[in-house]
Structure formats: C-alpha cells, structure tokens
Amino acid sequence: MKNSLFKKLASIPTATIAAGQNDSGIIDPAIRPMWSPINLVGVAFTIESISGDNSIVHQAISEAPIGSVIVLNTKYHKEHACVGDIIIRNCIKNELAGFVTNGVMRDLNDCRNLGLPIYATGVCMRGPIKGNDGGIILEKVLFGGVEIQNGDYIIGDDDGLVVVKHKNIKLILDRAYEKEKNEKEVIKRINSGE
C-alpha cells in the first residue's frame, strides 16, 4: 500500500501537489535540491539539532523506519556541514528515502554518486561539531516556513519540496490527479493549434 502511494506521489510534480492544497506546505526554496534530476518521496522523521552538532543525526538514522526522510532543523546554521557522505551511506544502509535540512552539506560529489536525494541550503567544507548532549527527535519542527510532524509526507523534485499532512494525503492526491488531467487537456489543445 505504502509503496504504491509513494509511486503515485513520485509521478506528480511538486507544483501540482502544492496546488492541490492551495499552495500550502511549500518549503522555503532556499532549501533546494543539491543536484538534478532528483525525486524524493517519504515520510518525515524530524530532528532538531544544536547548531553545528550532528551527533543527534546518527541516533535518528538508527531509529528511523525504512522509507523515512530525515528532516533536520538546524535553524539555517551555515558554518558547519551537518551531513556528508558518511551519514548518507548510513541512511542508504538503513533504507531511508532521503535527507532534507535547512543547514549545509559537504562531500557533494560523493553524495551525488551515492544517489540518495539531499535538499539543503548549500555546501560548506567545515565539518560538524561532535559530542553535545542535546537535540530533539520526533518533535514537531518549523522547517522552511512549514510546520512538519513526524509521519507527514515529504515530496521533492527539481522544483523543491512540499509537505502533505498525513491525514490529508488521499484528498490531496485526488486533487493533484485532477489538476494533472486538466493540464494535459490544455497542453493537447495548445498542441492542436488553439
């Protein structure tokens, strides 16, 4: 059931999904895909870290269910990369769907070659701090202007990220399919000379 839902979500552009919920759930475009083409669908596993420290991320990856998207709120910290190839390898080993953060990443080329979708605000060579006790897992976070709870759906493509509340997924999917159908009809009419 979940896999077929993910396939349906992956087949629809994020802009269409966003339109299906009156453009709510659109995450700040400063949190952007780190390469293109890219496609991401999964359920949020939320983390809030102490600025510059990614110790909590390692714990979260070991606890996140298969198919999760790590949603890391660093409060736009840009002085230390919070994710790199070691964390992404660990995400892949644990069968996670992707990693999104409002912080920065490093090891871009290695991460791109590994293929797990990453959305971040940019790249920074400086590594993370280690060893602070703190950080929060599975709490509601304000991320890119959107309130995200553990279990909400995270959908991403080259245009960016959109969040759909778990309870609304069927309604939003139905609306998005209807919009896609209407747009295909408009394109057909344009191509026929109208």
Q: What string of DSSP letters covers 152-168?
A: -EEEEETTEEEEE-GGG
* Closest of 117, 4, 23 to residue 70, by C-alpha: 117
Examine the pLDDT at 161 and tell me if it is beyond 70: yes
**pLDDT value at position 9?**
85
Examine the pLDDT at 180 and tell me if it is beyond 80: no
Cβ count within 10 A of residue 3? 8
Examine the pLDDT at 14 and tell me if it is beyond 90: yes
Average per-residue pLDDT for the chain = 91
The pLDDT > 70 percentage for the chain reads: 98
Cα separation, 163 vs 46, in Å, equals: 13
Cβ count within 10 A of residue 95? 11
Rounded to an integer, the average pLDDT of 32-38 is: 97
Rounded to an integer, the average pLDDT of 141-156 is: 96
**pLDDT value at position 7?**
85
Per the rule left: phi > 0, alpha: psi between -120 and 50, beta: everything else, 114 is alpha
Better pLDDT: 106 or 51: 106
> pTM of the prediction?
0.91
Better pLDDT: 183 or 36: 36
- Using an 8 Å Cβ cutoff, are 156 and 40 in contact? yes
Examine the pLDDT at 1 and tell me if it is beyond 50: no
Rounded to an integer, the average pLDDT of 92-119 is: 97
* Closest of 37, 76, 46, 20 to residue 159, by C-alpha: 37
pLDDT band (50, 70, 90) for residue 171: confident
The pLDDT > 90 percentage for the chain reads: 65
DSSP class of residue 185 equals: H
pLDDT band (50, 70, 90) for residue 123: very high
Backbone φ and ψ for 138, nearest 5 degrees, come out as 65, 25
